């Protein structure tokens, strides 16, 4: 059986029914753009360890980033393992691939001074649309979670936000479509306690606008993800703050939380991480000021 034939069956019979539509489309693109052109004409039993390693190196030579290559290898490995499980081929060698090393992305956040400048700008302009920036900075919401938030998701009496969905931009046949989906992982479905000052501001905004979504826009489906990211960049440009992605607001929230002494388990649950270990690994750098403070206290013994 040709590998391209198996890939088609694997995508339709196993991936499509077990993953989110966005994940299925991502895997299909990787199969169509990279795997089939280079390996599609091979018989399944011709995919030796050396052949697969050469495939990995060819992707790197194409200029693809190490993280992208590893994502493609994951799809390849998943498809071949399923083929073995079902008896389509007797064995597979994807485990022998030496994957390229990926440098961990540096977490970037705003300084306290930059954070205050952003807050002042949003509050001075007093637009419900821009207040989503402050809301993300004080709750750790991802942009997809923020832009799918409705007023029904906020319990003003309890002072909480319920995260039950996310969204992303999609284009089908040249037409824009805002797609709503479940959050990133099961742990991403969560209830976030919101500071009283933020809840008070949200009450005022709700009374001003009649929109269904918290981040109101002209569209009945609320703000577009890409357009909102651009709006955020415009704010940074006007304030002469170094450009950073919208996700930096989430990192800023986590960093400030650690600085004031929030425990890791609580922060992990608010961020929607699977476990506190993930939070520790991602935000270990944020402990440096605390470490320095503790070491200075020890140093006083020497004084």
Fold equal for 3-96 and 112-290: no
List pLDDT tens digits, range 95-112.
Answer: 999 999 887 677 788 999
Place of tokens 């007023």: 151
Q: How many CB atoms lie within 10 A of CB 241?
A: 18
The torsion of the CA quartet 229, 235, 239, 243, rounded to 10 degrees, works out to 10
| Phi, psi of 298, deg, nearest 5 | -65, -40
List pLDDT tens digits, range 250-297.
Answer: 999 999 998 888 999 999 999 999 898 888 888 876 666 667 777 888
Q: Please report the pLDDT score of residue 236 as a whole number.
A: 97
pLDDT at 33 over 90: yes
Q: Please report the pLDDT score of residue 303 as a whole number.
A: 63
List Cα–Cα distances, 30 to 7, 77, 154, 224, 234, in angstroms: 11, 13, 38, 25, 33
Domain boundaries, the chain: 3-96, 112-290
Cα gap 296→162, rounded to integer Å: 41
Query: CATH says 112-290 is which class?
Result: mainly alpha
CATH of 3-96, one of 1.10.3720.10, 1.20.1250.20, 1.10.150.130, 3.50.50.60: 1.10.150.130
* Of 244, 245, 254, the residue nearest 143 (C-alpha): 245
pTM of the complete model: 0.79
Confidence tier at 244 by pLDDT (50, 70, 90): very high
- 8 Å CB contact between 163 and 141: yes
List pLDDT tens digits, range 191-238.
Answer: 999 999 999 999 999 988 777 899 987 777 788 999 999 999 999 999
- 8 Å CB contact between 199 and 156: yes
Q: Which runs of E-coded beta strand occur in the chain?
A: 154-155, 160-163, 166-172, 175-181, 190-193
* Of 4, 260, 290, 295, the residue nearest 112 (C-alpha): 260
Q: Please report the pLDDT score of residue 290 as a whole number.
A: 67
Q: Please report the pLDDT score of residue 288 as a whole number.
A: 67
């Amino acid at each position: 059986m040709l590998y391209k034939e198996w890939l088609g069956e694997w995508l339709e019979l196993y991936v499509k029914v077990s993953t989110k539509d966005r994940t299925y489309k991502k895997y299909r693109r990787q199969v169509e753009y990279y795997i089939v052109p280079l390996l599609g004409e091979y018989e399944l039993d011709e995919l030796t360890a050396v052949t697969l390693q050469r495939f990995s190196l060819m992707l790197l030579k194409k200029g693809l980033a190490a993280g992208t290559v590893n994502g493609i290898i994951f799809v390849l490995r998943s498809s071949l393992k399923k083929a073995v499980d079902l008896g389509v081929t007797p064995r597979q060698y994807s485990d022998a691939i030496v994957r390229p090393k990926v440098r961990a992305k540096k977490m970037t956040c705003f300084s306290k001074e930059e954070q205050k400048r952003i807050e002042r700008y949003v509050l001075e302009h007093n637009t419900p649309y821009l207040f989503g920036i402050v809301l993300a900075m004080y709750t750790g919401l991802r942009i997809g979670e923020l832009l799918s938030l409705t007023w029904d998701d906020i319990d003003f009496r309890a002072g909480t936000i319920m995260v039950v969905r996310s969204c992303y931009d999609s284009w089908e046949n040249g037409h824009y479509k805002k797609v709503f989906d479940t959050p990133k992982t099961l742990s991403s479905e969560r209830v976030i306690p919101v500071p009283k000052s933020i809840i008070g501001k949200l009450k005022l905004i709700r009374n001003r606008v009649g929109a269904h979504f918290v981040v109101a826009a002209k569209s009945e489906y609320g703000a577009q993800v890409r357009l909102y990211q651009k709006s955020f960049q415009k704010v940074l440009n006007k304030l002469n703050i170094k450009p950073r992605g919208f996700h930096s607001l989430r990192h800023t929230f986590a960093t400030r939380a650690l600085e004031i002494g929030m425990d890791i388990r609580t922060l992990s649950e608010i961020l929607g991480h699977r476990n506190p270990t993930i939070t520790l690994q991602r935000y270990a750098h944020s402990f440096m000021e605390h470490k320095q403070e503790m070491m200075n206290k020890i140093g006083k013994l020497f004084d």
